[in-house]
Each structure stands twice: as C-alpha cells, then as structure tokens.
Amino acid sequence: MGSSNQDPGMSLRTDGWLRKPVDSLMQIPDKIQNSLKLHLGRFLKMGDGGDVKAQMSSEKVRGLCSAAAAAADVRLEKQLQAWRNNPSWTDHPPEIKVTVPQGSLCNLNLRFEAGLPPDAVYNIIIDPENKRVFKNIKEVVSRKVLLDEGSRQVVEVEQAAIWKFLWWSGILSVHVFVDQNRRNHTVKFKQGRSGFMKKFEGCWKIEPLFVDKEACLPLDPNTLEEYDSCTAGRGRVGSAITLDQLIEPAILPPQPIAWYVRGITAKTTEMLVNDLIAETARVRGVASNVDNKHYTEENCDISNDLLTDECGDIKERWRQRRKSGRHGNSLRSARQEV
C-alpha cells in the first residue's frame, strides 16, 4: 500500500493515499469513462450555483458504476467458465526472498501463481469475511470504508491476529489502512496506530497469466483482448501474484532471538499464502495440490548434538536443540555416577 494540493477534508494521511474524486475516472472502463467525463466537465463549469440535478445526478453516477461492475462480473464469469471446462492446474509453494533492511526485522517478498483470474483472487483478498480463508486472522474487530470510488476503496481495518512463538501464543491487534484498487489489482496496506509494531506495510499485486498462450503461436498475446481473440475466448487466465511486506517491531529483538523471530514471521506469511492458494483451488472446485510438506512440520535428525540441514521448521529446531541439551546433560550425569 503532494497532500498539500488536496482539498480540505479529502486527505486522511500525508503520504498521498487519498486523491481528488476526479481520479476515480481512471477506475472506470473506457466506454463508460468518456460519458462520465462529459457530465462531470459540465458540472465543474457550472460552479456551486448550477443545477446539479439537471447535469449529473448521483443516481446516474451510481448507474454508470453499476454498469461497469456488471460488465466486470460477466467477464469474470466467462473466465471462470474456462477453468471449469479445463481445471487442470498444479499449484506450487511460493518463492520467498527475505532481506533485512537497516533497523528492520525483515522485508519479505513472496511470488507465486494461482489457477484463477486476477479478479477472483482479488475478491478473496479484499473479502471482509476472509478470516475463513486465512487461519491466522481470529477476528475482524472493526472495518470502516473511508473512500469509495467504485473500483477503488480505502478501508480502515482492525483485526485480531493470532501469533505464535515457540511454545507461546497470543492475540495481536493489527490496525491498518488498506488501499484496494480493482483496476490494477493491487491491495496496499499500511499500519495505522502504532503498538507492538513500529512499521507494518506492504502490497499485494496480481497480474494476469495467460495459461494457454501456446494455443496462440506464433502470436504472443500481450493483452487480454489479444489473448481472447487468438484462443476464441476459451483461453484460461491465471494470476501471477506478489506480496511484498516490511516488518519492523517497536523493539528489535537481539540476536539470536531476531533470527528465530524472522524465521517464524517468514513461515507465518508463507502459511498465509498457502491458505490463499488452497482457497483458489476450492473456488476451482478441486482439492489443493500444493506441496504438503509446506503445511506440516519436517522431521529433524540429530547426530552428535548437531541438526541436519533438512530440518526446516524453526520451532522444531529449537525443540530438538533443547531436547538434545537435556539428553546430553543426562548422559553426562550418568557417566559421572558410573
């Protein structure tokens, strides 16, 4: 997820998230956009004393937006039908890149693909009831729409998130502003009230993936229109998704605790993405075939108090390390008694 040029009362923050209503024109399909531009131009020329109802009623604006939404629904249904006709797809775990910016715990970048169109994936992410999908969301405490421009909304959300660290767990309150834009399929989030987290922000980005583009050879479609044309409307549209997330706690834990916290954070985010992948499979009407080893703890072998590289779960590694330590102490005690 300069304010100095915005009208009074229109800016929520200083980072330029909220814009003037005229920006909403960019969120409407071209055919409807031209009509709305014409009416809005006449309205702006009239000034405050003009007859607003004669030029552009709120009902007409809502009608134009409804028409755009209806067209998008028809397009999405057509894309989903292509998946019903050919549901063949293999889900893969996300690719994860972890970096450590100066003063932050970590920056996570996850990339993966899903067998659903961008609109369908976008709908899952912005669904106010998506706690049924994402297991780390315990409850949506509050949700308030601050700006609604049809295809773009700014929403204030407070959630109760479940956190786990080693043998401890609890509930963490997360307060964020979410800028969700259907036109470019982005969902930007940024922390509101500070608390346990000093900085928590990021962005989901969903781009179309032409699954059956081989059928277009020797053509290489670059737009949905070209893809629909060369596949006769039967080409499946998937999604290439990225999640970029920056996490900075109010108090940065010292090493080696920071290493464990960073690992747990990456694992938690990976589980969130896997929840999303499983939901896209459910919407397609099939069971998720994502690699199961990313949902279960891996076994760890211990030899001479050293852990093998195959031990992938941080919680299990700490448990085994402590267990190894206890066994070592017991063996030493037994030798001393002998």
| Model confidence, pTM | 0.68
The mean of the pLDDT values for the chain is 75
- Half-sphere exposure (CA, 13 Å, Cβ side) for 302? 14
Alpha-carbon distance values, 141 to 22, 161, 294 (Å): 32, 10, 30
Residue 57: φ, ψ to 5°: -85, 155
pLDDT above 60 for 112? yes
pLDDT of residue 16: 44
pLDDT of residue 285: 81
The closest alpha carbon to 115, from 77, 83, 85, 93, belongs to: 83
pLDDT of residue 302: 30
Q: What is the DSSP-derived secondary structure letter of residue 93? A: P
- Half-sphere exposure (CA, 13 Å, Cβ side) for 270? 22
What does the domain layout of the chain look like in residue ranges?
3-85, 302-337
Q: What is the DSSP-derived secondary structure letter of residue 237? A: E
The closest alpha carbon to 279, from 136, 59, 123, belongs to: 123
For residues 287 and 69, give the distance between their C-alpha atoms in angstroms, rounded to a whole number.
30
What does the pLDDT average to over 247-272? 83
Q: How many angstroms from the chain centroid is the CA of residue 37?
A: 32
For residues 112 and 95, give the distance between their C-alpha atoms in angstroms, rounded to a whole number.
6
Q: What is the DSSP-derived secondary structure letter of residue 36? A: H
CB atoms within 10 A of CB 37: 13
What does the pLDDT average to over 296-317? 39
β-strands 137-148, 95-99 pairing: unpaired
The closest alpha carbon to 149, from 23, 63, 290, 6, belongs to: 23
Longest dimension (CA), the chain: 101
pLDDT of residue 282: 93
pLDDT of residue 60: 66
What does the pLDDT average to over 178-189? 97
| Least confident segment among 92-96, 224-228, 290-294 | 290-294
| Cβ within 8 Å of residue 293, ≥6 positions away | none
The closest alpha carbon to 125, from 62, 202, 69, belongs to: 202
Cβ–Cβ under 8 Å, residues 154 and 177:
yes
β-strands 306-307, 302-303 pairing: antiparallel
pLDDT above 60 for 40? no
Higher pLDDT: 310 or 103? It is 103
What does the pLDDT average to over 298-302? 34
CA triple 51-21-155, angle to 5 deg? 130
| Least confident segment among 101-110, 133-142, 268-277, 319-328 | 319-328
